[in-house]
Amino acid sequence: MAGMQKTTKTTTEEKRIKLIQQAGFIALYGNLVLALTKFFLGKISGSLAVLGDAIDTMTDVAIALMTIIVSRIISRPGDKEHPWGHGRAETTATMVLSFIIFFAGSQLAVSSANELIHHTYKSEVSFYAILAALISICGKSLLTASQVALGRKSGSTMIKANAQNMKGDIIMSAGVLTGIAAARIFNCPLLDPVTAFLVSIWVIKNAGKIFVEMNTELMDGNNDEGIYKTMFDAVMSVKGVSNPHRARIRKIASHWDIDLDIEVDAELTVHTAHEITNRVEKAVRRVIPDVYDIMVHVEPAGHGGHHAREQFGLKESDVDTPEEMMEEEIERSENSEKGRIRG
């Protein structure tokens, strides 16, 4: 049974890696064609906004190359030096991705600011600039759809981050189109560098958002209280378990690593307590997909305050809503009253 489960898990991981590689190649070739097209039309038109859009698309080419390389690294199984596997390579690569995007946005901001300050922008906006923006919107829409679909199937944070970046690219290209069209219609070429500058702010903002998310993951942080609640509900559904506490959940790429303490009747045999932990693990894996590993530590009921101070971990009440806490308190009071009456 264990061998069958391991084979299924390996097959699923292989499919995931193939999906990540597929997303990488689609993004690589698609963005390369778009970038070269926009560079060509940007040079002809002399539009800084279009050239800035082309630079941003070249960062997507770099990201796609990184995706393909990283997919080979994360496909390696855990080993002596990396017992939790190589999934962190995906997180690290996504962090690098945020710096690339930030650099591209900063360069565009400096260039557009220089044109505004020194009045070096062209006196007329070319139709080729509008054509470039239209091509960009159409091309990026197709690429975004493919990355969203493959990111959902693979569960890859890197692909999802890239899809999010491409969604931003569509909005950015739409902004470029609006600015350039307005500049041409109203004969106001000043709008071209202004549009470019606004685009740069958007790019920098996206870079910051990705950085914050990946930094939280690299530091084993988790802002998702919902997954803790899901886990606690699953644990408490197992008969014989009480007081789940010192729970810690961290993300490794698309997988979850879970540590948890539970309490059971102190009179149980080690074998029976072990069987309960197995049921707890199965209950958690049913409700939380992609669990890489789960460690359940058993304590005798009522022993929570008897051991030495331990590192931080969440307990059930930490993620309960006020209404749920009140219901639990009422239930405890009713149980206590029933016990007193029976006594």
pLDDT digits (tens, 9 = 90+) for 240-255: 998 898 888 888 776 7
Q: What's the confidence (pLDDT) of residue 327? A: 58
Give yes or no: residues 189 and 76 share one domain: yes
Q: What's the confidence (pLDDT) of residue 271? A: 93
Number of independent structural domains in the chain: 2
Q: What is the mean pLDDT of residues 273-299?
A: 90
For all residues of the chain together, what is the average pLDDT?
79
CATH of the domain at 199: 1.20.1510.10
Q: What's the confidence (pLDDT) of residue 143? A: 92
Q: What is the pLDDT of residues 62-80, one digit of tens each?
A: 778 877 777 777 767 777 7
Q: What is the pLDDT of residues 22-52, one digit of tens each?
A: 888 998 999 999 999 998 988 888 777 788 7
Among 168, 199, 218, residue at a domain's last position = 218
Give residue for tokens 């460690």.
Answer: 295
DSSP 124: S
Give yes or no: residues 187 and 237 share one domain: no
Among 202, 218, 234, residue at a domain's last position = 218
Q: What's the confidence (pLDDT) of residue 264? A: 92
- Residue ranges of alpha helices (H) inside the chain are 2-45, 48-74, 88-118, 127-154, 157-185, 191-218, 225-236, 270-287, 322-342
Distance (Å) of CA 333 to CA 256, 302, 329: 36, 18, 6
Q: What is the mean pLDDT of residues 100-110?
A: 81
Residue 3 in any domain: the answer is no
Q: 246: helix, coil or strand?
A: strand
Q: Which structural domain range is residue 261 located in? A: 225-342
Give every CB contact of residue 77 below 8 A, 6+ residues apart in sequence.
85
Give yes or no: residues 93 and 242 share one domain: no
In this prediction, residue 163 has a pLDDT band, given cuts at 50, 70 and 90, of confident
Q: What's the confidence (pLDDT) of residue 81? A: 79
Q: What's the confidence (pLDDT) of residue 45? A: 83
Give yes or no: residues 155 and 171 share one domain: yes
Distance (Å) of CA 21 to CA 28, 102, 144, 158, 254: 10, 24, 16, 11, 15
The answer on pLDDT for 141 being more than 90 is yes
Contact 41, 131 (CB under 8 A): yes
Q: How far apart are CA 92 and CA 78, in angstroms?
A: 17
Among 183, 202, 218, residue at a domain's last position = 218
Residue 4 in any domain: the answer is no
